[in-house]
Chains A and B, each alone.
Chain A
């Protein structure tokens, strides 16, 4: 069984205008490894949601910092890692938010997180305050009782 891992990386300015490019990047790689149109759509959308959260919340909008999107492929799964180098939390910096705005954002942001969890098989976070925040999303090549896709990959 193949144990090696292939990795694809995209470093891109953290701006909403780049979401289309990010979706194209993950979509092309997902297509290359043989996912169905349906699964490609799910991976694109989940990645968009993760990156949108970073662009909207991790950085000061004036800072044009980089956002990293990495794809790791091994024999059983397709993993998308979205990493930002946002400043992280410091208790002194937390201001009391405008509640109306906060709730509206939470409601919409909450939709994105819910979608990520629904569309992908696994979603988790690695937060290193002040250094980096990472969202990891996994899609397996096979359902428990369906090995067609793995067979398709092995033939390539």
Chain B
């Protein structure tokens, strides 16, 4: 039995992972497998929705650190949204807001992906 779930939904290039429950050293491998599966499928635009997450420890944050380099090398990103205050504090204490886009709602997070791909497109055009 595990008190952690990940629900995945895909929309064009963007994959959303809605995490729920407790993310600690016991459950982090579940999220790790889910992200690895996305990368294996060549999906590098990943939106993580924290609306239903009640707890996170450094083992959970470590999952995002473990993948971010590979994801960005492949032109993708992990963006995060809808964290409660308690969860955000852990990210903030470890300086994650300078490394990741963390926004309030799903719409803003989606827009951030859209902006990133637009910017990338215009940069490509200028080359």
Binding site for B on A (CB under 8 A): 16-17, 19-20, 23, 41, 44-45, 48-49, 52, 55-56, 104, 107-108, 111-112, 114-115, 118-119
Partner of A45, one of B3, B25, B26, B57: B57
Q: How many A-B residue pairs have CB under 8 A?
A: 54
Residues of B47-80 whose CB lies within 8 A of A: 55, 57-59, 61-62, 65-66
B37 at the interface (CB under 8 A from A): no
Given contacts A107-B65, A111-B94, A115-B90, whether A16 and B57 have CB atoms under 8 Å apart is no
Q: Which residue of B lies closest to A42 (CB)?
A: B89
CA–CA, A17 and B30, complex, Å: 13
Contact present for A108 and B65 (CB under 8 Å): yes
The answer to whether B57 and A104 touch across the interface, beta carbons within 8 angstroms, is: no
**How far is A115 from B65 in the complex, measured between Cα atoms in Å?**
16
Would you list the 6 A-B pairs with minimal beta carbon distance, nearest first?
A: A16-B26, A108-B62, A111-B58, A52-B25, A112-B58, A16-B25
In the assembled complex, how far is the CB of residue B5 from the closest CB belonging to chain A, in whole angstroms? Answer: 14
Interface size on B, residues (CB 8 A): 17
Give 12 CB contacts A-B under 8 Å: A19-B26, A41-B86, A49-B57, A49-B58, A52-B24, A52-B57, A56-B25, A107-B62, A108-B62, A111-B94, A115-B58, A115-B90
Contact B24 A111 (CB under 8 A): no
